[in-house]
Every structure is written in structure tokens, then in C-alpha cells.
Amino acid sequence: MRIVVLAGGLSPERDVSLSSGSLVANALLDRGHQVVMADVYEGAEIRGDAKDAFLSPDSLFRYSFEIPDQAPDLKILREKHNGRKALIGENILELCSAADVVFIALHGSMGENGQLQAVLECHDIRYTGSDYCGSLLAMDKDLSKKLMRLAGVPTADWVFASATEESMREVRDSVGFPCVIKPIHCGSSVGISIVRSEDEYRTAVREANIYEDLVLAEKMIPGREFSVGILGGEVLPAIEIIPHQGFYDYKNKYQKGLATEICPADINPEQAARLAESALAVHKALRLGSYSRVDFILGPDDIFYCLEANTLPGMTPMSLLPQEAAQIGLTYPELCDRIVRLAFE
């Protein structure tokens, strides 16, 4: 079938997306599909009928994209396009309309907050993953945590944070130090800092404000970190993530050799059952679609606290969902193909 893989975009996570997208495009080509990869912000070149673009896919997308250890400078990208603020580039919707399905390989921003999904639905374009409602609910860390608690899934205490004395006092009194400062709508640990004292607080909030005005302060729960994938309603084996230094930040996520990932995770059957039950409960509470990935911390009290849900899990060489899928016998190309076919169910 004809498939557009949408990647890139005007997001701090665009490099992760380009890596995911190139690998997905390669895998779908190997499965016999006609595939075109496009950067949703930079646009696409169409000569003649848009359907002709699928006949000779550019060999460039046979290569993978290496992720730098720092998030990209979006100001430079905008300047390249004369400061254009429109998030969807030239010919993107025409190209997507000519496809049988769009594989959304974006991360963060419009790819995960529901904006792109809503636009595609307005144009009657089929796409992979969660719809605009589920995407919005999962991307908003405040809303998603409220829904988790309503579903009976534990999550760390949190408050909104700003770089004021009043806000710092509220954070100190309600969640305490150490705490985790994070932008409300970013993924891939972009803009996240662990704050251990009041002296570090303002700097961390200002760094988070580089990416977004709305910032959360979340109680830090020490413990082991796990992730659980959901694919077609099936809970995949959990994976444990062990950073070699610090926490699972942007660099440790995407640079080789900086974290150890154990799948299936080394937990007992009772813990595995509780973790799977919580992951599925979050998936359903947030109205997520054909696949997702839900992240947890196992606290010292043996409780799994949900960190967040990911509607578009990474599909890079270091990503967690492909490792979990491999445990049930799905190769990477088979996983990509399965995600595409789930969009038709």
C-alpha cells in the first residue's frame, strides 16, 4: 500500500523523530510497501500527480538518522524558512491525501498533542496511533495525571511551578525537595531537571520555560524505572531502564551505551501482573489508540507510580517498544507493518 511516513516537525524532539521515521520507512519498504518519508515542517516536493511520488521512493531514506546528544535549535530551522510559523509545510496534505495511510513518526509538539491528528481527520486521511482526543489527554501532564488518579493508578504528587518566591514556597511545602521540574507538554525528557534544593529551583524552571510557559514540579520518587508497551490491546513484556549515570534524560535515552535496558524486566510474577494492569488502565483512561508506551517508577514502598504515557513511542535503534515487541516474536519490520494494519481496524 502507499504510505507516507511523517517525521521531523518544529519540535525539540525533531531529531528523534527523523531517526524513528527513517527506520520506519526502511522497514515498510522492506515489507513491500510504497513509502515516502516527509518532514512535516519542511514540506515535500511534488511533481505532477501526488500518487507518482510513491513509484520511485528516494533512496536517501534507506539511511538512518543519527541523533545528536543535544536537542535541536528550532530558531535556526525557522530562519531557514523565513521565520514561517505554520507547522505544516508545502504539499504535505496533498501527499498524505494520496496515501492509503499516514504513519505518524513525530515526537512532541503537534505530532503528539492532537493537532496533526485533528487536521488529518478534517481531510479524511487515515493515520496510525491514537486520535486527537487521546493524544491531547496523554500529552498534557497535568490532565493525564488527574485521569490516572481517577482510574486508580498511583502517580507522584505535583503542582504548577514558576520562577517566583511564592511558587517556590508552594513547591517546597506541597511536593518538597528533591523534585522534578518538567515542561507540561514536552517528551523525551526535554527540559527536565532534578532539583535538590531551593538554590537550583529557579534555574531549572527557567530552563524548562525555554520550551514552554507551563511547567510542573513533581515529587521525586526514587526507585527502578520501567516501561510497558500496549499493542493492539495486548500488554507487552515490561522493560527496565538503568541509566549508567544520572537519570534517563535526553542524552541517556538516545546515545548508545549510556543506559542498560533489561527485557523482560527482572520482577516477580505478582509485580509483573500489577504493572501490566496499571499500564492497560492508563491506556484506557487516556483513550489511547492502537499502540502506546506507559512509563513507571517502582518506589521503595513496592508501588508502581506512573510517570507518563507516550502515544507515539520512539522507534529508534535505542527505543523501548521495539525491544518489547521482539519478546513476543515481532521483528522490527513486522512491528511497523502491524502498526500500519491496526490503523485499518
Active site residue 314: yes
Q: What is the CATH number of the domain that holds 172?
A: 3.30.1490.20
pLDDT of residue 59: 44
Alpha carbon distance 81, 79 (integer Å): 5
Same-domain pairing of 289 and 316: yes
Same-domain pairing of 55 and 192: no
pLDDT of residue 250: 42
Average pLDDT over residues 58-85: 74
Alpha carbon distance 228, 245 (integer Å): 22
> Greatest CA span in the chain, whole angstroms?
63
Q: 220: how many CB neighbours lie within 10 A of its CB?
A: 18
Percent above pLDDT 90 for the chain: 68
Same-domain pairing of 302 and 166: no
The answer to the question of residue 258 being in a domain is: yes
Same-domain pairing of 60 and 197: no
Same-domain pairing of 119 and 199: no
The most confident of the ranges 18-22, 69-73, 136-140, 205-209 is: 136-140
Q: Point out the catalytic residue in the list 188, 189, 227, 319.
A: 188
Q: Which residue has the cell 487516556?
A: 286
The pLDDT mean for the chain works out to 89
Active site residue 254: yes
Q: Point out the catalytic residue in the list 254, 291, 305, 332.
A: 254
Own/partner long-range contacts of 64-67 (Cβ < 8 Å, ≥24 apart): 64/19, 64/22, 64/23, 64/26, 64/317, 65/15, 65/18, 65/19, 65/21, 65/22, 66/19, 67/15, 67/16, 67/19, 67/254, 67/255, 67/316
Active site residue 308: yes
Position 197: which residue type?
Answer: S
Q: Which of 203, 219, 235 is the last residue of a domain?
A: 219
Average pLDDT over residues 14-41: 92
Q: Point out the catalytic residue in the list 39, 112, 249, 295.
A: 295
DSSP state of 66: P
Contact between 259 and 243 (Cβ < 8 Å): yes
Q: Could you give the number of structural domains in the chain?
A: 3
Active site residue 310: yes
Same-domain pairing of 266 and 278: yes
> Which residues form the domain of 28?
2-127
Q: Point out the catalytic residue in the list 20, 109, 310, 319.
A: 310
189 pLDDT band, cuts 50/70/90, is low
In what helix (H) or strand (E) does residue 338 lie, and over which residues does it extend? Answer: helix 332-342
Same-domain pairing of 19 and 118: yes
Average pLDDT over residues 130-154: 97
pLDDT of residue 16: 86
Same-domain pairing of 300 and 165: no
Same-domain pairing of 243 and 268: yes
pLDDT exceeds 60 at position 106: yes
- At 218-260, the pLDDT tens digits run 999 999 999 999 999 999 999 999 987 554 444 444 445 668 9
The answer to the question of residue 133 being in a domain is: no
